[in-house]
A and B are shown apart, each in its own frame.
Chain A
Amino acid sequence: MLIKSITMNNFRQFKGEQRLEFSTDSEKNVTVLLGDNTFGKTTILQAFNWCLYGVADFPKNSRPDFLLNLDLANGQGSDTCYDVYVKLILEHEGKEYTIKRAQRYTNTGFDSERWSADSAVVKIFYKESDGRTKEVREGEERRVINNILPASLSGYFFFDTERVSDISARKDLKDAVSGLLGLAPVEKARKHIGEETKKKSAIGQWYEARDNNGDGRASEAKSTIDRESARIDELNQQIADIDAELKKLSEQKEKIDKILRDNEATAALQLEKQRLEAELEKTQTTLEQSNKSFKEFYSHEALNYLMQPLLVGAEETLSRSKLADVGIRDMTEASIRSIIERGVCVCGAPVTSESAAYHHLLEEIKNLPPTNISTAVQSFRELIKNNERNRETFMPNIAERYRTLNDIRDNIMATEAKISDISEQISGKENMGEHEANLRRIENNIESNIEQRNRCNRDIGAAENSMASAKKVYDGLAVATEKNARIDRYVAYAQNICDWIDDHYEAKQNEMRTNLESQVNAIFKRMYHGERRVRIDNNFSVSLLAWVQGKEQETGESEGLKRVKNFAFIAGLVNIAKQKASMGNKTDEISWQNEAYPLVMDAPFSNADETHIQNISQILPEVANQVIMFVMEKDWQYAKNVMAGRVGRYCNLKKNSETYTEISLGGDANV
């Protein structure tokens, strides 16, 4: 980093816009600003701090927060508002930056507190290599400035010799020093490459873009394809087995068919014989039933038929008798006596010995057997008459039944004769029935096998459909699978870079610390000729060690010794920072150009003797690319002999009043 210029506008005693340019010549890299006490040297140093970090450390009794020039603030008829700003133009890693921090002061009244200050606003612009100017995004200003020059180290780069704190007291140097020594890009790269769980990082973004669900679905689809494919193979094998079985069955069927064809007549006779035997069995059953029916009919009807002569004679005799037709048909004496005994007639009339009904009933008994048989004879005659039709049909009926029996017997004899005849014809021949039974069994088997083969073909169709669907899904996901494979490749490279950083970062940091310690001690030795040395530990804490009673330990330090130590540390840091940075071992080393830093020092020779002044003057231009010194003329007298050849620019501070200092350019190294 090289500082090209600083412009202050109404900043404390620098009224109006005043610009100070610095030497950027690599050979004459020193800018000297001469001014005595109270001329404004420290104000310029604080202008750097305010511009970059927004803080300015002024004495408490000088209204430290009030930056507006007091001539303007206290002037009569002053304007209603003034802008205070500091603008730095600097060059860092090939880019020119303009950093401007501004604060507006507005006049609100007539008393001493009449000035109201707005919040300071910082803006950063930088020029691209193609000459275009771009502005750093709002909110990023602090980060950019800290990466150019960490605020934690600003007190050493903007070195107020009389007020700088002891470097040994600082505990926050590790990150700042690592950054200055060139490890910041590596650390940032590690963060930005990141890991799976850091979604903003490169690896995190890849994992977000990865189609993990698609992988699962593709795997499932592939599994379906494999499964259905195996199923189709299995079904095809089953079909092949079925076809083989069908072929065998067809051959058997053909063989039996031939036998049956060759013995067609025998088979027909055997079949006829079977039919006749079945018919014979049926006819014999009919004969048994007819026999039984004949016997039953005869038993029931034959007596009536055989009594016919007697009944005819009885009818002739009875028809000649003169019997009065009195009395009630089928009425008995016992029935009438039962009514009398009951005392009530069937008509409901009471039956007592005195009643007329009683006497009528007794009279009726006289019309009944055995006193009177006329009703019985009448009934008998009706019976004879009724049975007359049965007697007439008996003979034809029994004759018909007899003929039927004879017909059945004839039928049986004929069938038996046919069976006997066929038996003689087929005697000694194979039983075609068995062949036919086998043929039916084989035909059933063939039918069953064909049905099974059809089922297999249907299952193959279903499996092919399922496989086609899965294939479609799989093909659709192939794009996602390909994408995942690419992501895996990218992640593998990214992880390799992370491993490379993880493996080397700590070692590199340690190497830089050792190197820094060596450089600091080399500079320290040129300024201090005692037995002490500077130690920089793993946390970049700086301490001064001395040998006391054979043991190296920290000891008390004078103010002068502290300044030498601080100066040596910063000079060593600046010296290393401008060297080339690298990472990795010989096979995978990556290197990059690091940045040189300036040293802006207020009163660097304060309280130093002539020897120290000359040492410092000699070391400063060697280690820093740019040295900006604010010195009193009395101290410059000791330094100029050593440093004059490296001075590229002189400036003088001209104090017009306590509230107004002017910067005048030019000057002479021999002033």
Chain B
Amino acid sequence: MLSEGAKCIDIDPGKLKKMKKEIIELERNNIKTGEKTDSEMGRAIRAIIERIADGEA
């Protein structure tokens, strides 16, 4: 359930695509290494989304 604030966000398709690519690459890499736990993966995904959302498309 999105918050009222989140519902009003304009999504940049370029940023969104970049996020998807990086997240899948991150998951593929972790599948190979098992380096990160679920919690660490949650944090790593947060970092990707935050970096791209705050940066340029």
Contact = CB atoms under 8 A, between A and B. Distances in A.
Contacts of A402: none
Contacts of B11: 492-493, 496
B34 A136 contact: yes
Interface stretch (A196-204, A406-414, A444-452, A533-541): A196-204
A103 B19 CA distance: 44
B32 A492 contact: no
Contacts of B25: 185, 592
Interface stretch (A142-150, A155-163, A275-283, A330-338): A142-150
Q: Is the interface of B mostly helix, strand, loop or mixed?
A: helix
Given A136-B35, A489-B6, A497 B23 contact: yes
A488 interface: yes
Interface residues of B, number: 40
A206 interface: yes
B21 A590 contact: yes
Contacts, number: 132
Contacts of B7: 492
Contacts of A590: 17, 20-21, 24
B20 A497 contact: yes
B16 to A, nearest CB: 6
A342 to B, nearest CB: 117
Q: Which among B15, B42, B54 has the highest number of chain A CB atoms within 10 Å?
A: B42
Interface string A173-210: 00000000000111011011110100011101110000
A494 B2 CA distance: 10
A72 B3 CA distance: 69
B28 to A, nearest CB: 5
Q: Which among B9, B17, B31 has the highest number of chain A CB atoms within 10 Å?
A: B31
B28 A93 contact: yes
Contact of B42 (A202, A489, A493): A202
B2 A140 contact: no
A532 interface: no
Nearest to A501: B20
Interface string A348-361: 00000000000000
A312 to B, nearest CB: 124
Interface residues of A, number: 50
A136 B7 CA distance: 40
A205 B41 CA distance: 11
A485 interface: yes
A184 B24 contact: no
A184 B31 CA distance: 8
B16 A193 contact: no
B20 A205 contact: no
Interface in A75-108: 92-93, 95, 97
Nearest to A584: B20
B22 to A, nearest CB: 10
B56 interface: no
A192 B29 CA distance: 14
Given A489-B53, A493-B11, A205 B28 contact: no
A134 B32 CA distance: 12
Interface string A570-596: 000000000000011001101010000
B42 A188 contact: no
Nearest to A209: B46
A189 B38 CA distance: 10
A367 to B, nearest CB: 128
Nearest to A94: B32
Contact of A205 (B3, B9, B46, B53): B46
Nearest to A197: B1
A587 B11 CA distance: 14
B32 A495 contact: no
A69 interface: no
A486 B1 CA distance: 17
Q: Is the interface of A mostly helix, strand, loop or mixed?
A: helix
Contacts of B55: none
B2 A204 contact: no
Contacts of B32: 92-93, 95, 97, 126, 144, 147-148
A488 B9 contact: yes
B6 A495 contact: yes
Nearest to A587: B13
Nearest to B43: A205
Interface in A492-507: 492-497, 500
Nearest to A144: B34
A383 to B, nearest CB: 116
B42 A204 contact: yes
Contact of B19 (A191, A485, A493): A493
A490 B27 CA distance: 19
Contacts of B53: 489-490, 493
A587 B38 CA distance: 30
Interface string B28-54: 101111110011011101100110111
A493 B53 CA distance: 8
A492 B42 contact: no
B50 A490 contact: yes
A199 B25 CA distance: 23
A667 to B, nearest CB: 34
B38 A191 contact: yes
Contact of B2 (A137, A184, A492): A492
Contacts of B16: 493, 496-497, 500, 588
Given A192-B41, A201-B42, A140 B34 contact: yes
A100 to B, nearest CB: 16
B32 to A, nearest CB: 5
Contacts of A188: 27, 30-31, 41
Interface string A204-223: 11100000000000000000
Given A185-B28, A200-B39, A192 B45 contact: yes
B24 A95 contact: no
9 contacts: A95-B32, A201-B38, A201-B42, A202-B43, A486-B54, A490-B46, A493-B49, A493-B52, A495-B2
Interface of A: 92-93, 95, 97, 126, 134, 136-137, 140-141, 143-144, 147-148, 184-186, 188-189, 191-194, 196, 200-202, 204-206, 484-486, 488-497, 500, 583-584, 587-588, 590, 592
Interface of B: 1-3, 5-9, 11, 13, 15-17, 19-21, 23-28, 30-35, 38-39, 41-43, 45-46, 49-50, 52-54
Given A144-B32, A205-B46, 4 more contacts: A136-B34, A143-B34, A144-B31, A489-B9
Please provide the 9 A-B residue pairs with the shortest distance between their CB atoms, ordered closest to farther: A140-B34, A488-B5, A492-B9, A185-B27, A144-B34, A147-B31, A488-B6, A200-B39, A192-B41
